[in-house]
Amino acid sequence: MAKKKILYVVEAMGGGVFAYIVDLANELVNEFDMYIAYAVRPQTPLNYKEYFDKRIHLIEVKSFCREIKPAQELKAIKEVKAIAEEVKPDIIHLHSSKAGVIGRIAFNGKDIPLFYTPHGYSFLMANYKPAKRIMFKAIETVMAKRNCTTISCSLGEHQETLKLTKNATYVNNAINVADLKRSLDKVEKKNRPFTVFTLGRICYQKNPALFNSIAEKMPDTKFLWIGDGELREELKSKNIEITGWVNREEALKRSMNADVFVLTSLWEGLPISLLEAMYMKKLCVVSDVIGNRDVIHNGENGYVCSDVDEFVKAIEERKEEYVEKAYQDLLENYEVKGQAERYAEIYRGRFGK
């Protein structure tokens, strides 16, 4: 019997979304015939195709663009429709806001069951001006009336979704623990100073200004930002080291040889970097936003902070019993095999309907 075909449409194939798609598709390909229509982003790894199981069909969408350009959007709609006509999928799943809009215009959700995962709603992103966020909210409100089921990647995102549509559920983001363990087993641990670290693009969302302020209040502590980005000049404190963009092997090496993971984000979906830090048994100190607070529960498995002083106090206090609790929570709730099975159940439930 032929496998059912699943088509993923992914505009934002970089960062945490890329890791999510790789892990999930590599698990689901054992049951389904997986197709991924995608766009390359600046942060997409150069060797991205090597991350995917060879059985997965990768189709680049040439007309996808990050900015809002009506003429380009029309081209993308036509291109995505043409891909679907060629593939003839049994399920279409849209990933990220841009793909969500294009896909819900391109497909009616009646002929082929349609799903959408926002990976962080654009209208919650504080880097946009209020007028633009209102526009994004209006677009999502209109699109939510389409015949499509939204699958959020965290409980917090699901609660936002329910304000738009009741045709919704959620499946937590997850990581491939087996693959991560294999990679970490190769890491050599070194003697080094106590280090507070974060990982990701140095951009407005990740709030480097707050990270810098924490470092300035702790001048005798080493701070490390694994990554690079357009706002690196905001990391001015002399005790901050910036690695620049490094490959995954180097990023894991630097992470394992650090002590406290800090996430100062202004918004999140459900960050993969946080889940990986929990698995690595790093104390996690995070900002009080959707995604972060869905995973880290203040005073139980880490610290959730609202300002500089709370971050500093948490880092100085460092209750190590939180580390083991976070590790166990990760294994129980955020492992990719369980995530993939939940998606498979949702997909199976729509076949033949």
Residue 160: is its pLDDT beyond 80? yes
Question: 141 is written with which tokens?
Answer: 């409100």
Instruction: Give pLDDT, residue 221.
Output: 98
The reply to whether 30 falls in a domain is yes
Q: How far is the CA of 337 from the CAs of 28, 82, 223, in angstroms?
A: 9, 32, 34
The reply to whether 353 falls in a domain is no
Instruction: Give pLDDT, residue 352.
Output: 56
Looking at the structure, do residues 166 and 202 belong to the same domain, yes or no? no
End-to-end CA distance of the chain: 19
Lowest mean pLDDT among 153-157, 164-168, 337-341: 153-157
Question: 193 is written with which tokens?
Answer: 């100073």
The reply to whether 229 falls in a domain is yes
Query: Measured between alpha carbons, how far is 169 from 166 in angstroms, rounded to an integer?
Result: 8
Question: 166 is written with which tokens?
Answer: 């009741």
The reply to whether 35 falls in a domain is yes
**Sign of the torsion formed by the C-alpha atoms of 185, 226, 154 and 296:** positive
The reply to whether 42 falls in a domain is yes
Question: 207 is written with which tokens?
Answer: 């709030």
Query: Measured between alpha carbons, how far is 334 from 269 in angstroms, rounded to an integer?
Result: 14
Which of 8, 290, 348, 335 is CA-nearest to residue 179? 335
Provide the percentage of residues in the chain whose pLDDT is more than 70.
99
CATH number, domain with residue 185? 3.40.50.2000
Give 85-105 pLDDT, tens digit per residue. Answer: 999 999 999 998 889 999 999
Looking at the structure, do residues 49 and 139 belong to the same domain, yes or no? yes
Across the range 46-68, mean pLDDT stands at 88
Say what angle helices 177-184 and 272-279 make with each other, to 10 degrees.
60
Looking at the structure, do residues 38 and 59 belong to the same domain, yes or no? yes
The reply to whether 41 falls in a domain is yes
DSSP β-ladder status, 5-13 and 91-95: parallel
Give me the domain span that covers residue 148: 5-174+335-348
Structural domains in the chain (count): 2
| Residue 118's pLDDT band (cuts 50, 70, 90) | very high
Across the range 327-340, mean pLDDT stands at 94
Across the range 306-331, mean pLDDT stands at 96
Looking at the structure, do residues 81 and 191 belong to the same domain, yes or no? no
Across the range 150-167, mean pLDDT stands at 93
Q: How far is the CA of 105 from the CAs of 11, 51, 76, 98, in angstroms?
A: 15, 30, 11, 11
3-state secondary structure the chain: CCCCEEEEEEEEECHHHHHHHHHHHHHHCCCCEEEEEEEECCCCCCCHHHHCCCCCEEEECCCCCCCCCHHHHHHHHHHHHHHHHHHCCCEEEEECHHHHHHHHHHCCCCCCCEEEECCCCHHHCCCCCHHHHHHHHHHHHHHCCCCCEEEECCHHHHHHHCCCCCCEEECCCCECHHHHHHHHCCCCCCCCCCEEEEECCCCHHHCHHHHHHHHHHCCCCEEEEEECCCCHHHCCCCCEEECECCCHHHHHHHHHCCCEEEECCCCCCCCHHHHHHHHCCCEEEEECCCCHHHHCCECCCEEEECCHHHHHHHHHHCCCHHHHHHHHHHHHHCEHHHHHHHHHHHHHCCCCC
| Residue 280's pLDDT band (cuts 50, 70, 90) | very high
Question: 118 is written with which tokens?
Answer: 């926002």
Looking at the structure, do residues 301 and 251 belong to the same domain, yes or no? yes
Query: Measured between alpha carbons, how far is 87 from 35 in angstroms, rounded to an integer?
Result: 8
Residue 84: is its pLDDT beyond 70? yes
Looking at the structure, do residues 73 and 206 belong to the same domain, yes or no? no
The reply to whether 242 falls in a domain is yes
8 A C-beta contact, residue 227 and residue 245: yes
CB within 8 A of 116, min separation 6: which ones?
93, 94, 95, 100, 103, 104, 148, 149, 150, 151
Beta bridge partners of 91: 6
Looking at the structure, do residues 109 and 136 belong to the same domain, yes or no? yes
Query: Measured between alpha carbons, how far is 225 from 249 in angstroms, rounded to an integer?
Result: 15
Residue 72: is its pLDDT beyond 90? no
Looking at the structure, do residues 311 and 249 belong to the same domain, yes or no? yes
Provide the percentage of residues in the chain whose pLDDT is more than 90.
74
| Residue 232's pLDDT band (cuts 50, 70, 90) | very high
More confident residue, 299 or 67: 299
Instruction: Give pLDDT, residue 122.
Output: 79
Across the range 106-122, mean pLDDT stands at 92
Mean pLDDT of the residues in the chain? 92
Residue 61: is its pLDDT beyond 70? yes
Looking at the structure, do residues 143 and 267 belong to the same domain, yes or no? no
Query: Measured between alpha carbons, how far is 269 from 117 in angstroms, rounded to an integer?
Result: 10
Looking at the structure, do residues 97 and 199 belong to the same domain, yes or no? no
The reply to whether 39 falls in a domain is yes
Instruction: Give pLDDT, residue 22.
Output: 93
Looking at the structure, do residues 303 and 326 belong to the same domain, yes or no? yes
Looking at the structure, do residues 132 and 169 belong to the same domain, yes or no? yes
Instruction: Give pLDDT, residue 125.
Output: 76
